[in-house]
Structure 1
Amino acid sequence: MDASEHLSGKRLAALSLAALGVVFGDIGTSPLYAIRECFHGEYGIEVSGANVLGVLSLIFWALMLIVSFKYLAMVLRADHDGEGGVLALTTLVKPRKRPLRGPAKVLVILGLFAACLLYGDGMITPAISVLSAVEGLGHITPLFKPYIVHITLVILVSLFLLQRHGTARVGSLFGPVILVWMTALGLLGLVQVVREPSVLIAIDPWHGLQFLIHNRLHGFVVLGAVFLVATGAEAIYADLGHFGRRPIRLTWFLVALPALLLNYFGQGAHLLNHPGDAYHPFYAIVPSWAIIPMVVLATLATIVASQAVITGAFSLTSQAVQLGYLPRLRVTHTSVTHKGQIYVAPVNWVLMACTVGLVLGFRSSSKLAAAYGVAVTASMLVTATLFFVVMRKRWNWSLPVAGLLTALFFTVDFSFFAANMTKILHGAWFPLVIALLVLAVMLTWERGNEILAERAQGLTLPLDRFLADIHADPPTRIPGQAVFLTRSHNIVPMAMVQNLRHNRVLHNEVVFLNIRTEDLPRVPNFEKIELERLGSGIFRIIAHFGYMEEPTVSTVFALCRDQGVTVDPENASFFLGREKLSIGEDPAMARWRANLFLFLSRNGMDPADFFNIPSTQVIEVGARLRV
């Protein structure tokens, strides 16, 4: 049951306003460039009455079918304990307690690839959104035109530099800013629609179909520009865990959708009478006295939209680390009240470098639009595939029902994907390359750790054998507590074996701690800890955390106290294994992947820092391993 269904009126309103700023910022800034790209972009089509009505019809039904029906009505139901997003959807189709093989492994890799595509989206969205807003300065005076790229870069670099300080203080303004923006969009469009109400006949899907039939290949290519109105739809699903279904749906149907449709139809109505304004129809419908405040408001709205996708990239990275697809990275929580407010420095700098590079390389939002869309449409295709599996396997829907729905989603999504693929040589390759690079990193890290676990088996002992050995030949016991982190609950870690072999002593109290990340967003506290007394002062603790949680030893030991076992992190000794890695003569994976794994291992976060272990209490025991 979705908790948002039982919200009070005041709480529902507050959450809906917050959702407006975070969830709909990206899709809400599309009016700045979507219509323009249909008629004035790289593949722009002639501005005629039939073409304007056809494009508006396609826009209307794209928003209805993709956003309203597919995501809001259907996909939002596929939550994973309240969390959404393509990684959450992937964990829903991933079999538990069984190794991945065959179709299941393919589905997981597809889900990871879709997640990786969102990194490309996180680079293009800030670039195209802010650039398109700042281009409005050219409508104030031509004197600004030579400085548009420079101003855009200043705004973007400032945005990325501010990330480490967090957005908690200004985050409360995101909702009001987008509310004012949506209101302005609706009013600007309404004025034009009142002047030319005949434009409303574009709601008839026949106009869109006729447009495609009449314009053939050119009309099909224009679909790539039409799709720009739906970019940001994946963010709606990804932010499900922050707001819940009800606030997101209410905000979309009561505020965002009406405002967007009014503005798109308003731009179309204006073009029917002023076809020469196709070079920037958004600013063409803004009264001359309102240009300056509109440029300022558009810039603020695009900053909010950019912030949402940047934060989304941080969140995605944190989840991937917890699920074991990326090396440990320092995740800084920038707010004590909002769990989603996090900062991941390496991701921030890579995003900034790529975003700045995109602005410098393309230099206009129109050229950038050619690179936009492929990543999102590919991600949507994967979502439709995974959603079909959820309908069949999780919800036990019949094949005809699940098949018909998936066929509808695929028909729409693949049409837009194919149209966007025509732009592959004009920049659309960029997000695909980024996604493939990140996917290669994820799969290499996962495989490398599997190989390491196999290699380390010779340096460990089965737990039952270890207990039998110390019972038969008790070692010297010394005062104190020792905590050994272990990869498996039934294996004695290499650090313990090496320490006992060389020092021949054992602490009075020994804890084997196995910290696991489950395929669940969060694990309730009463289910987090499995504690077993093994005798001779030895304890086994298995700690379960969700992939949306931060695993720390302080949390583990606080919960252990409730079960009668007290471990003092400030006085206990923490033994950690430190593997010195090298590449063997015949590595278990391609040499380039082995080198990549070594690089990632050397630059990953130290386990002591990751699990928040007091640095003065750590003892590292090393071993040499080959990958």
Structure 2
Amino acid sequence: MLEKSPLPHASTAALTLGAIGVVYGDIGTSPLYAFREALAHVGGQEIGSSDIIGVLSLALWALIIVVTLKYVLFLCRMDNKGEGGVLSLMALARIATGGRWLIVTILGATGAALFYGDAIITPALSVLAAVEGLRTVPGLEGMELPMILGLTMAILFGLFAFQSRGTAGVASLFGPVCCVWFLALAALGLTHIFDAPQILAAFNPLAATGFLTHHGMPGLFVLGAVFLTVTGAEALIADMGHFGRGPIQLGWLSFVWPALTLNYLGQGAMALQALGDAQAAGRPFENADWFFLMAPDALRAPLVVLATFATIIASQAVITGAYSLTHQAIALGLLPRMTIRQTSASQRGQIYMPMVNWLLLGGVMVLVFAFKSSSAMATAYGIAVTGTMVVTSLLAFIIAWRAWHWQPFWTALLLAPFLGLDIVFLGANVLRIMEGGWVPLLVAGAMGTVIATWLRGRQVMRLRIARQGASMQQLAAALEQRPPVIIPGVAVFPTENLDVAPSALLHNLKHNKALHETNVLLKVVTEGVPYVAPADRLALERINERFTGVVLHYGYMDQVDVPTDLSRGEGLLLGRGGTSFFVGRNAIRRASNPMLPRWMTWLYRFLHRNAADPTAWFAIPANRVVELGSQIEL
């Protein structure tokens, strides 16, 4: 049932158009290669009509169960105040469990790590598959591999190089272009369905189950390839905050899903016709690039151009998704701070992260050069996406149980089919690890190691600081009894623990022998909600006349602006001498009795040293910052 949108019809239509251009770009380009690759795993000349119908039935029912039922109709209702995605689910599950369940953080970190494995494959595979379509254009059949790879790399490099300029200017084109793309998918399918009307038997789920029963283990390899039809489903919930539940559901049910279904039916009908022709001529059946062959020769070149634009849009959605996920991960404490640039004055979601951008480009280029064809690269696709889908199902169970207060038995009964299918798809893709599935696992493993190291390193660092530091209450009382030289102005000391005196405060007292008139101990807390209203961010706790503890609450999607939000405290930053921010710069050393393994200490030190300047993250003016260093042994 669709969400009733409070927006006027024109706004709903505009949001639906935008959702079609951004949310469905990845899944919308799957027809370029999904059916072809699934059919390639069936076998050579022994393939029969029941095999083609069975493969197509698996694809159609994957779209029905995984995308329509699980994501569009169920998970879309599991939003965190409008925001979706694996980290939003993690944040929602954290709230529901009071932050006490370690498994919630592990699942969220795993889902985030797997996303990066998917993020480097989607642009490489989709753009390469589109450019390979040039070989179906009359006169270009003999196009050499170096030319294909060169065009692909040029397109991808241009796409990533353009990111620093922002996408707000071209985003308005995404919806119309993708509408034309989906209309083309539907039209191509319709023109061929009646070439072999028996292809409609693919709607019978018995065709899918019969295929798997008959083929046994080889059928699982086909199932792993069939999963390519639903890659990109995660974007449906990840982009809810931009478009809303209603437009996303409306766009899928009324337009995208029918277009994809018609196109896959057309490809299947064309394959059936080709099989009949091959059997009549006494020659073996040959798999082909069914998508591009559906178009007449005169329209083949324009279709390749349109497909290239569609894959660029799909890649753009993944890239911006990587920025958004990384921003959330930093806010939730899973990754170190990175440089973030705002690329739009009107849309705060339009950001650019240089490190993420160029790391993704490097990974994409390596994949294109290493695999050299979309067919070879397709074997590497899927395992990261299936892993993420398993994570979302498990988090959904926790949220339905603990946040919605559903009975555990009935919750498990409802989610068991979804989780079971996710596990089957995951198992089918695990069989392809040696063919290239290790690539996203390697990327996810590297990201998982970084996340685990950062989480553990921060935990140990906080523990060391708490052990080595002085009690803030005791220090404030001692300074009240024997005050040092008092100088005018306000001093702000960022800290993670208001009960422990910040190292920057202790160093200031030790070296400058002075104390400001007003001293603010500032703790920035990221809540498990996407946004916190500005009026609700500031919380004050007076320690004594000189010291005030302040907690600023932000959502994980909020843009942090410490000076502006501190100024909301009445009289907090007023006084002679202005305001100075004293920031501690901690150097990490390995302790004689270390709490971390040597490799983890080295990695955490590297991450800590290369993290972005905290003053930039907190939007503190550089001319108001005083940095004081100290050493922490881990």
Aligned position for 1:590: 597
The question of whether the paired residues in 1 share the 8 Å contact of 2:42 and 2:222 is answered with no
Closer/same/farther in 2, CA of residues 504 and 43 from structure 1, 3 Å limit: farther
Q: Does 1:107 align with 2:99?
A: no
CA shift for structure 1 position 43: 6.6
The question of whether the paired residues in 1 share the 8 Å contact of 2:41 and 2:221 is answered with no
The question of whether the paired residues in 2 share the 8 Å contact of 1:47 and 1:271 is answered with no
CA shift for structure 1 position 458: 4.7
Closer/same/farther in 2, CA of residues 139 and 41 from structure 1, 3 Å limit: farther
Q: 1:614 aligns with which of 606, 621, 624?
A: 621
CA shift for structure 1 position 3: 9.0
1:492-511 C-alpha deviation (Å, 9 max, x unpaired): 21111221233221112222
SS of 2:596's partner is: coil
- Give TM-score, length-normalised by structure 1: 0.95
SS of 1:340's partner is: coil
Aligned position for 1:383: 392
Aligned position for 2:34: 34
In structure 2, distance between residues paired with 1:401 and 1:139: 52
Give the letter for the 2:442 counterpart: V
CA shift for structure 1 position 513: 1.4
Q: Does 1:124 align with 2:121?
A: yes
* Mapping 1:294-313, distance limit 5 Å: 294-313=303-322
165-174 vs 210-219, greater mean Cα deviation? 210-219
Give the letter for the 2:505 counterpart: M
SS of 1:573's partner is: strand
SS of 1:478's partner is: strand
CA shift for structure 1 position 337: 2.2
Aligned position for 1:415: 424
In structure 2, distance between residues paired with 1:111 and 1:166: 28
SS of 2:440's partner is: helix
In structure 2, distance between residues paired with 1:260 and 1:519: 36
In structure 2, distance between residues paired with 1:49 and 1:42: 12
1:441-493 C-alpha deviation (Å, 9 max, x unpaired): 11111111111112223553323212211221122211222111121223321
In structure 2, distance between residues paired with 1:486 and 1:308: 36
The question of whether the paired residues in 2 share the 8 Å contact of 1:21 and 1:175 is answered with yes
1:145-174 C-alpha deviation (Å, 9 max, x unpaired): 331111001001111111111111101111
CA shift for structure 1 position 411: 2.1
The question of whether the paired residues in 1 share the 8 Å contact of 2:35 and 2:226 is answered with yes
Aligned position for 1:500: 509
1:351-401 C-alpha deviation (Å, 9 max, x unpaired): 111100000000000000000011111111111111111111111212332
CA shift for structure 1 position 405: 1.7
The question of whether the paired residues in 2 share the 8 Å contact of 1:185 and 1:260 is answered with yes
Q: 2:521 aligns with which of 469, 489, 512?
A: 512
SS of 1:368's partner is: helix
Give the letter for the 1:110 counterpart: L
1:51-78 C-alpha deviation (Å, 9 max, x unpaired): 1111111111110000000111111111
Q: Does 1:214 align with 2:211?
A: no
The question of whether the paired residues in 1 share the 8 Å contact of 2:488 and 2:575 is answered with no
Aligned position for 2:587: 580
Aligned position for 1:91: 91
Give the letter for the 2:122 counterpart: T
CA shift for structure 1 position 539: 2.7
Aligned position for 1:426: 435
In structure 1, distance between residues paired with 2:391 and 2:325: 17
1:176-201 C-alpha deviation (Å, 9 max, x unpaired): 11110000000000111133332212
- Give TM-score, length-normalised by structure 2: 0.94
The question of whether the paired residues in 2 share the 8 Å contact of 1:271 and 1:277 is answered with no
SS of 1:162's partner is: helix
Aligned position for 2:53: 53
Q: 1:133 aligns with which of 130, 133, 137?
A: 130
Aligned position for 1:142: 141
Q: Does 1:285 align with 2:294?
A: yes
Q: Does 1:273 align with 2:270?
A: no
In structure 2, distance between residues paired with 1:587 and 1:553: 35
Aligned position for 1:565: 572
In structure 1, distance between residues paired with 2:435 and 2:339: 36
* Mapping 1:132-531, distance limit 5 Å: 132-140=129-137, 141-146=140-145, 147-275=147-275, 276=285, 278-531=287-540
CA shift for structure 1 position 36: 0.5
The question of whether the paired residues in 1 share the 8 Å contact of 2:539 and 2:551 is answered with yes
Closer/same/farther in 2, CA of residues 484 and 196 from structure 1, 3 Å limit: same
The question of whether the paired residues in 1 share the 8 Å contact of 2:123 and 2:311 is answered with yes
In structure 2, distance between residues paired with 1:375 and 1:610: 31
How many residue pairs get matched? 621
Closer/same/farther in 2, CA of residues 46 and 228 from structure 1, 3 Å limit: farther
SS of 1:66's partner is: helix
Give the letter for the 2:398 counterpart: V
The question of whether the paired residues in 2 share the 8 Å contact of 1:569 and 1:614 is answered with no
CA shift for structure 1 position 110: 2.1
Closer/same/farther in 2, CA of residues 139 and 569 from structure 1, 3 Å limit: farther
SS of 2:568's partner is: helix
In structure 2, distance between residues paired with 1:400 and 1:374: 29
In structure 2, distance between residues paired with 1:49 and 1:355: 37
In structure 1, distance between residues paired with 2:97 and 2:410: 29
CA shift for structure 1 position 564: 4.1
Give the letter for the 1:121 counterpart: D
Aligned position for 2:7: 7
Closer/same/farther in 2, CA of residues 4 and 240 from structure 1, 3 Å limit: farther
Give the letter for the 2:462 counterpart: A
Closer/same/farther in 2, CA of residues 401 and 43 from structure 1, 3 Å limit: farther
In structure 2, distance between residues paired with 1:338 and 1:203: 43
SS of 1:289's partner is: helix
178-187 vs 201-210, greater mean Cα deviation? 201-210
Task: List gaps (5 residues or longer) in structure 2.
Answer: 276-284
In structure 2, distance between residues paired with 1:266 and 1:396: 45
CA shift for structure 1 position 531: 2.3
SS of 2:16's partner is: helix
SS of 1:135's partner is: helix
Give the letter for the 1:345 counterpart: P
Task: List gaps (5 residues or longer) in structure 1.
Answer: none
1:97-148 C-alpha deviation (Å, 9 max, x unpaired): 9664xxx212321221111101011000001100000001111212433311
The question of whether the paired residues in 2 share the 8 Å contact of 1:37 and 1:44 is answered with no
SS of 1:548's partner is: coil
Closer/same/farther in 2, CA of residues 556 and 251 from structure 1, 3 Å limit: same
Q: Does 1:549 align with 2:558?
A: yes
500-509 vs 569-578, greater mean Cα deviation? 569-578
In structure 2, distance between residues paired with 1:395 and 1:219: 38
Closer/same/farther in 2, CA of residues 349 and 412 from structure 1, 3 Å limit: same
Q: Does 1:626 align with 2:633?
A: yes
